[in-house]
């Protein structure tokens, strides 16, 4: 984007941020203490372009657990390591029609997770990442990838990890169901793959980012896999494109279809209240943080920012043709 276009976008975001400060609809996630105790008033927006121009407003440097917004990047890592053919033997490419943790709709008739954006699919995806190594090494690989994308190390919220693990029966159950169907790749010999992989998933959900840093990760996708600050290639162009495609149809939980209608752009949300959206035409990523969620688990203000930005700047790919 040209400097003047960038300036227009930032002015638009300032207006949108000010307008939405009074929007107090929704409720914070309450299944674990760290999310339940989040300050619901916090509201930040950040953007990062493919060439590393940045802008932020409000609480854009407040750290939160990345949660489900880790999923597209875990999928990218698996695609890089194994290629799409092998990855899609373990994880599907279809909408699930259910919530992110649904026990029956998450898996297809063969026991394979419907897509990598729901919990089952993210667990199945992480089972593929560096599968022959110890979980500690595999987690280090994930951290390194995030560091490359953001030009800065992610944080780690151990209280969130411990609570995810304590309450994670549903996720462990999904991992076990997949293993039972032969659809969870095994790890090291003698290890309990469902238990290990669920734990790995909880760790990755607990990575700490803020809107600014997460926007740089999003800009890596908007930039065809090249990190915006360093110019380092993290993922292939094909991988970045595939990740954006699945975000386009399944990134917003069971609000994905409506989001596609209203906004039409690839996005991913996490229950901590973050939303990451990529604007392919402008080669940039927008990240919002605001903890109050709608019924589907998407940040109310976050979805509203995406909707308004797209309407104000004519960014919906199919509207106004
Ligand atoms: N870590 C949580 C879970 O697995 C939530 C992930 C998310 O952001 N939906 O249930």
Per-residue pLDDT of the chain (321 residues; tens, 9 = 90+): 899 999 999 999 999 999 999 999 999 999 999 999 999 999 999 999 999 999 999 999 999 999 999 999 999 999 999 999 999 999 999 999 889 998 889 999 999 999 999 999 999 999 999 999 999 999 999 999 999 999 999 999 999 999 999 999 999 999 999 999 999 999 898 899 999 999 999 999 999 999 999 999 999 999 999 999 999 999 999 999 999 999 999 999 999 999 999 999 999 999 999 999 999 999 999 999 999 999 999 999 999 999 999 999 999 999 989
User: CA nearest 127: which of 191, 201, 180?
Assistant: 201
Q: Checking phi first, is residue 83 left (phi over 0); if not, alpha (psi -120 to 50) or beta?
A: left
Comparing CA positions, the residue from 80, 75, 81, 77 lying closest to residue 93 is 75
Residue 273's closest CA among 19, 38, 8? 38
Distance 15 CA to ligand 1 centre (A): 31
| Confidence at residue 278, expressed as pLDDT on a 0 to 100 scale | 98
68 touches ligand 1 (CB under 6 Å): yes
Q: Measured in angstroms, how far is the CA atom of residue 213 from the centroid of ligand 1?
A: 20
So what CATH class is 68-205? alpha beta
Element (H, E) at 285: strand 284-289
Please state, in angstroms and rounded to a whole number, the distance separating the CA atoms of residues 90 and 138. Answer: 18
**Structure confidence at residue 104 (pLDDT):** 87
In the chain, where are the structural domains located?
3-66+207-313, 68-205
Residues placed in the known binding site for substrate:
68, 119, 164, 171, 201, 253, 271
pLDDT, position 237: 98
Q: What is the pLDDT of residue 195?
A: 97
Identify the residue whose tokens are 């600014």.
212
Q: Does residue 64 have its Cβ closer than 6 Å to ligand 1?
A: no
Q: Is 160 in the pocket of ligand 1 (CB under 6 A)?
A: no
Is residue 302 packed enough to be buried (19+ CB in 10 Å), middle (13-18) or exposed (0-12)? buried
Pocket test for ligand 1, best of 164, 166, 255 (most atoms within 8 A of CB): 164
Ligand 1 pocket member 101 (CB < 6 A): yes
Hey, what are 318's tokens? 């199919």
**Rounded to an integer, what distance in angstroms lies between the CA atom of residue 40 and that of residue 236?**
37
| ipTM of the complex in this document | 0.93
H helix or E strand, kind and range, residue 47: strand 44-49
**CA 132/CA 194 separation, integer angstroms:** 15
Cα(318) to ligand 1 centroid in Å equals: 31
Residue (of 303, 258, 308) closest to 26 by Cα position:
303
In DSSP terms, 107 is beta-bridged to 113
Superfamily of domain 3-66+207-313: DD-peptidase/beta-lactamase superfamily (3.40.710.10)
Q: What is the DSSP string of 222-284?
A: HTTTB-TTT--B-S-HHHHHHHHHHHHHHTTGGGHHHHHHHT-S-EEEETTTEEEEEEGGGTE
Model pLDDT, residue 97:
86
What H or E segment, with its residue span, contains residue 202? helix 193-205
Protein residue with its CA nearest to atom 3 in ligand 1 = 119
Domain 3-66+207-313 and domain 68-205 have a common topology: yes
State whether residue 85 is helix, strand or coil: helix
Residue 207 CB less than 6 A away from ligand 1? no
Q: Is the CB of 197 under 6 A from ligand 1?
A: no
The answer to whether residues 296 and 253 touch, using CB atoms and an 8 Å cutoff, is yes
């Amino acid at each position: 984007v040209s400097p003047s276009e960038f300036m227009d976008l930032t002015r638009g975001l300032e207006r949108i941020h000010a307008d939405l400060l009074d929007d107090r609809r929704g409720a914070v996630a309450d299944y674990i203490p760290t999310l339940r105790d989040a300050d619901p008033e916090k509201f930040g927006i950040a953007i990062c372009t493919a060439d590393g121009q940045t802008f932020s407003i409000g609480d854009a440097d407040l750290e939160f657990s990345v949660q489900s917004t880790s999923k597209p990047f875990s999928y990218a890592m698996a695609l890089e390591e194994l290629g799409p053919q092998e990855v899609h033997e373990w994880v599907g490419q279809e909408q699930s029609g259910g919530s992110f943790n649904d026990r029956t709709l998450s898996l297809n008739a063969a026991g394979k997770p419907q897509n990598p954006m729901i919990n089952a699919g993210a667990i199945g995806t992480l089972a593929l990442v560096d599968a022959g190594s110890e979980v500690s090494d595999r987690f280090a690989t994930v951290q390194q990838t995030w560091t490359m994308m953001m030009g800065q190390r992610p944080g780690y919220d151990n209280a969130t990890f411990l609570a995810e693990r304590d309450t994670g029966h549903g996720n462990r159950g999904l991992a076990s169901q997949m293993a039972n169907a032969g659809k969870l790749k095994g790890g090291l010999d003698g290890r309990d793959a469902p238990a290990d992989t669920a734990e790995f998933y909880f760790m990755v959900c607990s990575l700490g980012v803020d809107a600014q840093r997460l926007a740089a990760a999003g800009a890596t996708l908007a930039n065809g896999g090249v990190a915006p600050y360093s110019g380092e290639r993290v993922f292939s162009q094909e991988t970045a494109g595939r990740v954006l495609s699945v975000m386009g149809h399944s990134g917003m939980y069971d609000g994905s279809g409506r989001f596609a209608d209203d906004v039409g752009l690839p996005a991913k949300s996490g229950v901590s209240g973050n939303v990451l959206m990529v604007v392919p035409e402008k080669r940039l990523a927008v990240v919002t943080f605001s903890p109050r969620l709608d019924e589907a688990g998407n940040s109310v203000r976050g979805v509203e920012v995406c909707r308004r930005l797209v309407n104000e700047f004519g960014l919906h790919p199919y509207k106004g043709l």
